[in-house]
Amino acid sequence: MYGLVDSMALRCVLELRIPDIINSHGGPMTLAQIGSAISEASAAAEEASTPDIFCLARIMRFLVRRNIFTVHHPSNGSGSTDDNHDQALYGLSHLSRWLIFSDGDDDERNLGPMFLSQTHPRLMKPWHFLSRCIKEGGGGVAFDKAHGRDAFSLMSEDSEFAKVFNYGMECTSRIVVKAVLEEYRDGFSCLGSLVDVGGGTGAAMSEIVKSHPHIKGINFDLPHVVSTAPAYPGVSHVGGNMFDSIPNADAVFMKLRIPDIINSHGGPISLSQIASTIPEASAAAEAEASSPNISCLAVIMRFLVRRNIFTVRHPSNGSGDDSTDDDHDQALYGLTHLSRWLIFSDGDDEERNLGPMFLLQTHPRLMKPWHFLSRCIKEGGGGIAFDKAHGRDVFSLMSEDSGFAKVFDYGMECTSRIVVKAVLEEYRDGFSCLGSLVDVGGGTGAIVSEIVKSHPHIKGINFDLPHVVSTAPAYPGVSHVGGNMFDAIPNADAVFMKVNLSLLLFFITVIG
């Protein structure tokens, strides 16, 4: 559930080039040293920078726990204490060594560009249109719905995105082609020429020609792609569209999605047949524009089966083994113990629903600030990522955007119900001496309502910002009061405040 936090924290350190900073230093560094290096890099780029060491410390400690970095505390020689963080030395692990951008001849081991590409705002936005693609059908592509045009058209207009995308594809191409050349040493010896269809900026073809200099390499891709490709010895760049024509060569090199097309065809297929699947699919889509996209749904469901979110059973063989692709139309999908936590309507068991919190954490309003995290560290001044992303704090935005406020409140409420149920079970007699209780930051009142339900003698007060309590439902024995906790708090025998520790990094770092 918190893989998003891992990904965006990692993106932050990549944007700041922290793996490169530590590598260039030649060994582990303190936070102050890393901050100083960030300032120097910003100065070289003529950017103002006063790094936020406190924010940097949180990110680095989080990634230490994910084994991306190592930490050594000189105070006692072990990495198990939190004392003296200012002197803690952060170093590279075997994982972060794959994220170094500048490492001489070992540059082909760099996965950083692909990671920055996959977490780019342009590629994150389409995920929010995936359910719409399935619901509306018509063969719609999430990227196209998100941006109003396909990826290649957008890249022809947005050079910055095109550069990130091409660099990301290039870095993985080098790794893949290196493995191909090692395992397929003699496979290219009989060729005089080779064309890489969809070759991007030519990285894969350049590696092949480097290992087999007798080959005349042709890197073929869309014109706006090859226009930015660097010169490689023995490689010529040709712009065009594979569905119109492909340059002549002794062999064609293709990678990635072609196996899916061949599999769908049911056997060997020519390039002209591959090309013909595009308009055929489009024509079929137009005829079924109002029907759900079953093919897209099947891909999502099979993916989530492998993540143990759903089960699948194939009646044709009576087993629960999802390794077969036979008779997918008859496959029966069911719930697992994980997906039972995602049911929105289940009577009395609704407090076990984590769906609203997941929808909250992946809401576009809360995903956008992650892309400002490195800027917060670089610029310093105690800036909050959410404020930089939206120009105001989260509570001000919720007072203006009722749709987001509803998602936020519902998400907090669903986890509150789970937490308070555990509190009431383990702390049965803790509320018996109270006549009144105020829940500070109580949202729509879900928690205090559960407490009052278990202890009806308590006068419950749900206290939160005015625009929050204005949407709160009525609960027996609970009064809703609007205000700001930093001004005043309603009088009561006790104050109830809570923190979801598993979300602490998320809310402090991104929302503030």
- Least confident span in 28-37, 41-50, 182-191, 233-242: 41-50
Sign of CA dihedral 431, 436, 440, 442: positive
**Does residue 311 sit within a domain?**
no
pLDDT of amino acid 204: 87
pLDDT tens column, 87-131? 899 999 999 998 998 655 455 678 888 888 888 999 889 888 888
**Does residue 495 sit within a domain?**
yes
**How far apart are alpha carbons 30 and 90 in whole angstroms?**
6
- Least confident span in 175-179, 223-227, 381-385: 381-385
Q: Nearest CA to 377 among 22, 28, 37?
A: 37
Q: Which percentage of the chain shows pLDDT scores above 90?
A: 24
Residue 96 CB coordination number (10 Å): 23
pLDDT of amino acid 51: 86
Query: Domain check: are 250 and 387 in the same one?
Result: no
Query: Domain check: are 94 and 165 in the same one?
Result: no
Q: Domain of residue 183: give its range.
A: 150-256
pLDDT of amino acid 407: 86
Query: Domain check: are 477 and 370 in the same one?
Result: yes
pLDDT of amino acid 370: 86
**How far apart are alpha carbons 155 and 161 in whole angstroms?**
6
Q: Which residues are CB-contacts of 430 (< 8 A; sequence separation ≥ 6)? A: none
Sign of CA dihedral 71, 73, 78, 82: negative
**Does residue 192 sit within a domain?**
yes
Q: Do 458 and 452 meet the contact criterion of CB atoms below 8 Å apart?
A: yes
pLDDT of amino acid 69: 96
Q: For strands 89-92 and 69-72, give the pairing.
A: antiparallel
215 vs 501, more confident: 215
pLDDT of amino acid 448: 92
Query: Domain check: are 51 and 166 in the same one?
Result: no
Task: Name the helix (H) or strand (E) containing 333.
Answer: strand 332-335
pLDDT tens column, 149-201? 888 888 888 888 888 888 888 777 777 788 888 877 777 888 899 999 888 88
pLDDT tens column, 322-378? 444 445 567 788 888 888 888 775 444 455 678 887 888 788 888 888 888 888 888
**Does residue 372 sit within a domain?**
yes
**How far apart are alpha carbons 372 and 11 in whole angstroms?**
10
Arithmetic mean of pLDDT, 244-262: 68
Query: Domain check: are 396 and 505 in the same one?
Result: yes
**How far apart are alpha carbons 340 and 336 in whole angstroms?**
6
DSSP-assigned beta bridge partners for residue 195: 218, 252
Q: How many angstroms separate the first and last alpha carbons of the chain?
A: 21
Query: Domain check: are 157 and 96 in the same one?
Result: no
- Name the band, by pLDDT with cuts 50, 70 and 90, for residue 268: very low
Arithmetic mean of pLDDT, 428-445: 89
Query: Domain check: are 376 and 458 in the same one?
Result: yes
Query: Domain check: are 413 and 501 in the same one?
Result: yes
Q: Of 95-104, 254-263, 290-299, which one has max mean pLDDT?
A: 95-104
CATH code, 226: 3.40.50.150
pLDDT of amino acid 396: 86
Give the CA angle between residues 492, 493, 498 to the nearest 5°.
80
Q: Name the pTM for this structure.
A: 0.63
Mean pLDDT for the chain overall: 79
pLDDT of amino acid 347: 47
Q: Do 209 and 191 meet the contact criterion of CB atoms below 8 Å apart?
A: no
Query: Domain check: are 243 and 382 in the same one?
Result: no
**Does residue 21 sit within a domain?**
yes
Query: Domain check: are 235 and 375 in the same one?
Result: no
CA–CA distance from 346 to each of 272, 349, 418, 488 (Å)?
52, 6, 15, 39
Q: Which two tokens stand for residue 337?
A: 């113990």
Q: Of 7-21, 32-46, 290-304, which one has max mean pLDDT?
A: 7-21
**Does residue 486 sit within a domain?**
yes
Cα-based torsion angle of the residue sequence 456, 459, 465, 470 in order, rounded to the nearest 10 degrees:
70
Three-state DSSP at 58 gives: helix
pLDDT of amino acid 34: 94
**Does residue 127 sit within a domain?**
no
Number of domains in the chain: 3
**Does residue 45 sit within a domain?**
yes
CATH code, 11: 1.10.10.10
Query: Domain check: are 162 and 101 in the same one?
Result: no
Angle of helix 18-25 versus helix 31-44 axis, rounded to 10: 110
Q: Nearest CA to 152 among 242, 265, 248, 277?
A: 242
Tell me which of 88, 105, 122 is where a domain ends. 105
Task: Name the helix (H) or strand (E) containing 438.
Answer: strand 436-440
